[in-house]
Amino acid sequence: MSAFEELQKHYLERDLAAQQWKKSGGKVAGYLCNNVPEEFLLAAGLFPLRLSGDPQGDTEKIGNYSEQGNVFSREGFVASILHMILQGKYDYLDYLIIPHARDSVHRLYTTLSYRQETEPDLKLPELYYLDNLHTKFYSAGIYNCERWLELKKQLEKWTGQKITDEKLSQAIAVTNENKSLLTKVADLRVADRPRISGFDALQIIGSSMFMHKKEHNKLLREYLSGEGDFPERDGIRLFVEGSPLDNLQLYEIIESCGATVVAEDNCWGNRSFDGPIDETGDPVEAVIDRYNNKAPCARMYPIGERIEYCLQNARAAKVQGAIFHVNRFDEMQAWEVPDEMKVLKENGIPSLYLKDQPYRIDDTEALRARISEFVKGISR
């Protein structure tokens, strides 16, 4: 099996590495989003696993998860994660860290803790709520810092081991290497003749969140050593902006239309590995600083930073067009789209807006036809 096939395998069998880790006696800590400092988890000797949904599960049939009053998780991917947890698909997790990110993620926590209290027989991992603010003000940074330090303490309590500076520095070295390898992947995508498809890139990036980073680095190094043989791609260069993409359906359709997704603004894509951690100073402070200052997602204030991020990345990737893909109920994402499309247009980048999209794409052909028309419009 080639290194790429190995990575692909981990992308498809997302529990594989975690289950192996468990078998060898380790503990697995699940988390959502990308504002949970993985470096702390690694330094604590835990296996960090980012939770994802499964559009092929029966999520859409279940519809909205509606629990107590205001507690509900509407976006397809969160409803799917909730469904999977309640079905026991994540029963190998020892701990689950849920950050204060988008509302439905926050509500996933309240829903699970309510269930835990009212249904004692339900087997759930130990839950931890990681509070986190939606602005980047100075005072918000201080507040977040205290919360991250509390998490660090909790991890030490769980594992009975101290997270020493030395262990943390080692963990930082591992995640920094991962970031720099993934940046190479990103560079190969934006090359004048792209050498990696968006479809492959999403799997490479995604697998980094389902594997131990050390293992991922090894495979990624091996994969990138064959760079010289990567075939060149042609076709229209596209940027994808929008809702979290924890699966391959969209890229598969886009790239079947004679286009290549050369970059994206997505927490399952390039945005997940921005900003390396400073290795020169105090490691705890460095980790916190990175998480306070990393590229924001749509939940964050102010909108200007989001627009700038979208524009800079689309321009740097020299794209010929952009696709905005927003899932049904993902209003958070939808509110920034008009501004982003506007600045891209001012910069000569046309957009296609796919709004209210289902989490599981059933009518593949209709979507392909729309994207195909957009791509043809650009190549004319």
Q: Binding partner of residue 297 among ligand SF4, another protein, none, CB under 5 to 8 Å per kind?
A: ligand SF4
Contact status, residue 244 vs residue 268, Cβ threshold 8 Å:
yes
Q: In angstroms, what is the C-alpha Rg of the chain?
A: 20
For residue 231, say if its preceding peptide bond is cis, omega within 30 degrees of 0: no
Q: How far is the CB of 258 from another protein (least distance, A)?
A: 26
Closer to another protein by CB, 66 or 364: give it. Answer: 66
Closer to ligand SF4 by CB, 93 or 105: give it. Answer: 105
Task: Please enumerate, as own/partner, the contacts of 131-135 that have beta carbons within 8 Å and a separation of 24 or more.
Answer: 131/99, 131/100, 132/35, 132/99, 132/100, 132/101, 133/100, 134/299, 134/300, 134/301, 135/300, 135/301
**Rounded CA separation 332/297 (Å):** 9
Closer to another protein by CB, 139 or 280: give it. Answer: 139
Contact status, residue 359 vs residue 104, Cβ threshold 8 Å:
no
β-strand pairing of 72-73 with 65-66: antiparallel
Q: How far is the CB of 296 from ligand SF4 (least distance, A)?
A: 8
Q: Binding partner of residue 100 among ligand SF4, another protein, none, CB under 5 to 8 Å per kind?
A: another protein
Q: Binding partner of residue 281 among ligand SF4, another protein, none, CB under 5 to 8 Å per kind?
A: none
Q: How far is the CB of 354 from ligand SF4 (least distance, A)?
A: 17
Q: Binding partner of residue 85 among ligand SF4, another protein, none, CB under 5 to 8 Å per kind?
A: none
Taking CA atoms, 371 is separated from 270, 299, 348, 380, in Å, by: 22, 27, 19, 14
Q: Which amino acid is at 284?
A: V
Q: How far is the CB of 338 from another protein (least distance, A)?
A: 5
Q: Binding partner of residue 267 among ligand SF4, another protein, none, CB under 5 to 8 Å per kind?
A: ligand SF4
Which residues sit at the interface with another protein, rule CB under 8 A?
66-71, 100, 102-103, 106, 109-110, 113-114, 117, 129, 131, 133-135, 139-140, 143, 146-147, 298-299, 301-303, 331-332, 334-338, 341, 353, 355
Q: How far is the CB of 341 from another protein (least distance, A)?
A: 7
Cα 172 from chain centre: 19
Q: How far is the CB of 366 from another protein (least distance, A)?
A: 20
Which residues sit at the interface with ligand SF4, rule CB under 6 A?
33-34, 101-102, 105, 244, 267, 297-299
Enumerate helices (H) and strands (E) in the chain, giving the number of each: 16, 10
